[in-house]
Amino acid sequence: MRGAIRAPSVAQEFAGARLGDSRRSERLVKIVTVLEEDPSVGFPRAMRSDAELEAFYRFINSSSFTAEAILAPHVEATMDRAQTARRVLVIHDTTFAEFPGDALRKGMGITTTTNRQGFLAHCSLLLAEGDTTPLGIGHVQTLTRSGEKWRKRGSRTQIDRGDAQRESQRWLTAVQAIETMAKDRFETLHVTDAEGDFFEFMAQMRSEKTRFVVRAGRLNRVLDSTEGKASLRTVIDDLPARFERDIKVGKRRFDRQKKGRNSRRSHPPREARGATLTVTLPRSSTSTANAGRSKISLKH
């Protein structure tokens, strides 16, 4: 399977980009070819000359095309590889693109890190189920925080669930985009961290009739099933283990100067330790705990 779905070159993924002018498409391939040689270097060094660097900046600052147009041929190629694989994992996650400095850059917003500005990039990475071969990116969405809502984030009750611009909407948008492209072509298994642990997101995946695994973020919630009410923690602990694996959890430090004031609550410091990862399956009874097909719990 690996030989059948592997892309021969990153640059070839962008060869069919429709940017309104063939010269722009050629410039894109040239840029990607150079960056592919050493993705770790900065743009000035990668471009190798002042002329190439100037051409690069003109390209990325052009208003004649969009980031979606650049990515479109890669997404299409990713969908073709997913169709060959037939069953794929879709890993959803959000990362920050951050830049230092107090002076606000155009198009940038606040982040969770002190003295930084930037934007959020929500990506959906597709992998072949079974051998986890990376197939490519299926969806990307960027978001910029203005700061107003985050200055008032003292309570979750302030979040308007009907607001189409709220940040949590990105999870719903990504699943819908992937499922639309996957229809009648391949099967999906969506995977998220604890940010995906909210009812609307899981309800959408149920309506899409797709499989999913979401890391639980609120183990004290109360679930209502045919067997009565119980906390999610109790329900998970009561499920029979299918297999267990011992893992090592690394030490995590906390640097207030580099992280936002709320980071300690969501990512508290910890010592290195051993843990047992237990994988279980839900019973046949219908329960809101059975939204997914598998449950993973971490026992200290």
For residue 26, give the CATH number of its domain. Answer: 1.10.246
228 belongs to a structural domain = no
Looking at the fold, whether 257 and 169 belong to one and the same domain comes out as no
The pLDDT assigned to 289 comes to 36
Cα(46)–Cα(53) distance, integer angstroms: 8
Summarize pLDDT for 240-253 with one digit per residue, the tens: 888 899 999 999 88
The pLDDT assigned to 237 comes to 83
What is the pLDDT confidence band of residue 227, given thresholds at 50, 70 and 90? confident
Looking at the fold, whether 109 and 180 belong to one and the same domain comes out as yes
Under 8 Å between Cβ of 39 and 95: no
CA 198 and chain centroid, separation: 15
Per DSSP (E only), the strands in the chain are 87-100, 109-110, 116-128, 134-143, 187-192, 211-214, 222-225, 228-231, 241-249, 273-280, 295-299
What range does the domain containing 21 cover? 1-74
Looking at the fold, whether 122 and 189 belong to one and the same domain comes out as yes
Looking at the fold, whether 95 and 70 belong to one and the same domain comes out as no
249 belongs to a structural domain = yes
15 belongs to a structural domain = yes
Task: Indicate the number of domains in the chain.
Answer: 3
Summarize pLDDT for 154-199 with one digit per residue, the tens: 444 444 455 666 888 999 999 999 999 999 999 999 999 999 998 8
Looking at the fold, whether 99 and 31 belong to one and the same domain comes out as no
Domain boundary among 74, 96, 129: 74
Selection from 55, 81, 72, 199 nearest residue 139 by Cα: 72
For residue 137, give the CATH number of its domain. Answer: 3.90.350.10
Looking at the fold, whether 187 and 102 belong to one and the same domain comes out as yes
Looking at the fold, whether 105 and 142 belong to one and the same domain comes out as yes
Looking at the fold, whether 10 and 105 belong to one and the same domain comes out as no
Cα(74)–Cα(20) distance, integer angstroms: 17
Summarize pLDDT for 15-71 with one digit per residue, the tens: 889 999 999 999 999 999 999 888 889 999 999 899 999 999 999 999 999 999 999
227 belongs to a structural domain = no
Looking at the fold, whether 180 and 246 belong to one and the same domain comes out as no
Q: What is the mean pLDDT of residues 106-131?
A: 85
